[in-house]
Amino acid sequence: MYVRKLIQITVLLCATFFSCVNATASENTYRLSTDDVISVTVFNEPDLNLKETKINDDGTISVPLLGQVNIQGKTVLEVETLLNELFEKDYLVKPQVSVSIDEFRPFYINGEVDKPGSYAFRTGMTVEIAITLAGGFTERASRKEIFLASEGNKNERRKVSLDDSVKPGDIITIEESFF
């Protein structure tokens, strides 16, 4: 009994650790874009902090003292470096800026699902989870004709399976089955 509990706790701790590592790794490579929501913290400067700030259509955020700062296509680490440099240039001595992603931009799903539209992205999103969020397949949906257009290349659709990953900004299309 004791050994079983110990194994369960160990498995739970490992799963938690690896999901945290995975989330951090994805934040380090994830490129920010319109509709992402971020928070900016400037150590010992609470008046400069931004909480849950949505990135504008032009890829900018409004930062106190700095005005509009373009962060389109940058990683969290790149934005931290940029803001540190901008604050240090004219305003602060050795600023310490921290940036976090509060909410990813949505993904989109259309075609033969019960509720087509945009949905909040979650880490670990797959095509199957996206279809479930959209109410599932319609009666006429093809389970084999599922296409995904990535945000960076909307004109090129690729055929995907239910296990393929979905990223923020992706467009999933479920085709109609003829039989």
Instruction: Give me the pLDDT at residue 156, please.
Output: 92
Give yes or no for residue 127 having a pLDDT over 60: yes
On whether residue 122 sits in a domain, the answer given is yes
pTM of this prediction exceeds 0.85: no
Summarised one tens digit per residue, pLDDT across range 73-115 is 999 999 999 999 999 999 999 999 999 999 999 999 999 999 9
- List Cβ<8 Å contacts ≥24 apart for 68-73: 71/32, 72/32, 72/33, 72/34, 73/31, 73/32, 73/33
Q: Please give the distance of CA 10 from its chain centroid, rounded to a whole number.
A: 29
On whether residue 12 sits in a domain, the answer given is no
Specify the pairing of strand 50-54 against strand 107-111: unpaired
Confidence of residue 10 (pLDDT cuts 50, 70, 90): very low
Q: What are phi and psi of 93, to 5 degrees?
A: -95, 120
CATH number, domain of 94, equals 3.30.1950.10
On whether residue 158 sits in a domain, the answer given is yes
85 with 133, same domain: the answer is no
Both structure tokens of 31: 């490129």
Sign, CA torsion 137/115/56/91: negative
Instruction: Output 60 or 20, whichever has higher pLDDT.
Output: 60
CATH number, domain of 150, equals 3.10.560.10
Give yes or no for residue 173 having a pLDDT over 60: yes
Instruction: Give me the pLDDT at residue 29, please.
Output: 85
Give yes or no for residue 16 having a pLDDT over 70: no
Beta strands in 11-140, from DSSP E residues, in sequence order: 37-42, 50-54, 60-63, 67-70, 97-103, 107-111, 117-119
Average pLDDT over residues 34-56: 97
CA angle 124, 130, 134 (to 5 degrees): 150
Q: Token pair 């790794």 is at which residue?
A: 25
CA angle 115, 121, 124 (to 5 degrees): 115
The answer to whether the CB of 141 falls within 8 A of the CB of 134 is no
Confidence of residue 7 (pLDDT cuts 50, 70, 90): very low
Residue 104: exposure state from Cβ atoms within 10 A (0-12, 13-18, ≥19): buried
The answer to whether the CB of 141 falls within 8 A of the CB of 173 is no
Confidence of residue 178 (pLDDT cuts 50, 70, 90): confident
Domain range holding 64? 37-103
Instruction: Give me the pLDDT at residue 11, please.
Output: 42
Summarised one tens digit per residue, pLDDT across range 21-30 is 344 435 678 9
